[in-house]
Amino acid sequence: MKKVTKAVILAAGLGTRMLPASKAVPKEMFPIVDKPALQFLVEEAAESGITDLLIVTSRGKTAIEDHFDYSAEYEARFRETGREAEITKLRRIADLVNIQYVRQKESGGTGHAVQCAKSFVGSDPFAVFYGDDVVVSEGNPATAQLIRAYEKYGKPVAGVQAVSKADIVKYSSLKVERLEGNIYTVLDMIEKPREDQIYSLLSILGRVLLEPDIFDILENTPRGAGGELQLTDAMRTLTLTRGMTACEYKGRRYDMGSKLGFLIANVEQGILHEEIGSGFRAFLKEFINKI
């Protein structure tokens, strides 16, 4: 079994739920306090042993490439003011992993976005990050949890968490049998189920680990929900043929593609921030007493 060292981040979506802010600024660059959401994903990849990363982008998202690059302007200013330590901090962002980029030239769904990574993946297993999903799990990255399940059971892995019955129709629903602890055998799955199609409240949320055979499956997968090529539909075929496991990963997930998720992330992580946490917590207590 090959070691998992490659990952793909799907960051080509338009971000219509975050308009008007996402009209000119990539939604993946919206911050949680002072760190872009996408940086959380790249850091998680690095902490999980990923060395090579492909970010699937689209038109108007060059800010992503600029962020994960050296900044001559900031570095010159920091040298002038004797703040050399700040240069090290900024360069660390660019040096986390080896990052490449490819554009998804047309909107075609998650399955089409993954197809853009075919030449990058080659014959290697690879993790997939959904760009809207930030998972904070200190010391135990969600992707590393999936990699351990893959190494133990030798099958592609879906990263899952339970969602509410009201929300499951927006995501996917998995039919599973427990293997051990938080690991399941996947028996079936459906994207955006109707209420009468719900298997369970376990849904694929933001992380999967796949092998190159997914590309052949995608080539033969018809368009699904929303008229787009859905990665979930291809993974269902994978499940019904060679099989998949599911890892109910531990960690706090934030949906950064929604206004409410964005605000929740900033509040929860804001009170933990080493620089502003205590002051922000005091403000919230005072504010809550007024409403």
The yes or no reply on domain 6-257 and CATH 3.90.550.10 is: yes
pLDDT at position 14: 86
pLDDT at position 49: 96
pLDDT at position 265: 98
Burial of 154 (0-12, 13-18, 19+ CB in 10 A): exposed
**Rounded to two decimals, what is the model's pTM?**
0.94
Distances (CA, A) of 192 to 119, 186, 230: 29, 17, 10
274 DSSP 8-state letter: T
Mean per-residue pLDDT over the chain, rounded: 94
Structural domain boundaries in the chain: 6-257
Average confidence (pLDDT) over 54-69 = 94
Average confidence (pLDDT) over 94-122 = 93
pLDDT at position 222: 87
pLDDT at position 291: 82
Residue 87: which of 64, 103, 63, 70 has the closest Cα? 70
pLDDT at 226 over 80: no
Per-residue pLDDT band for 228 (boundaries 50, 70, 90) equals: confident
pLDDT at position 84: 85
pLDDT at 106 over 90: no
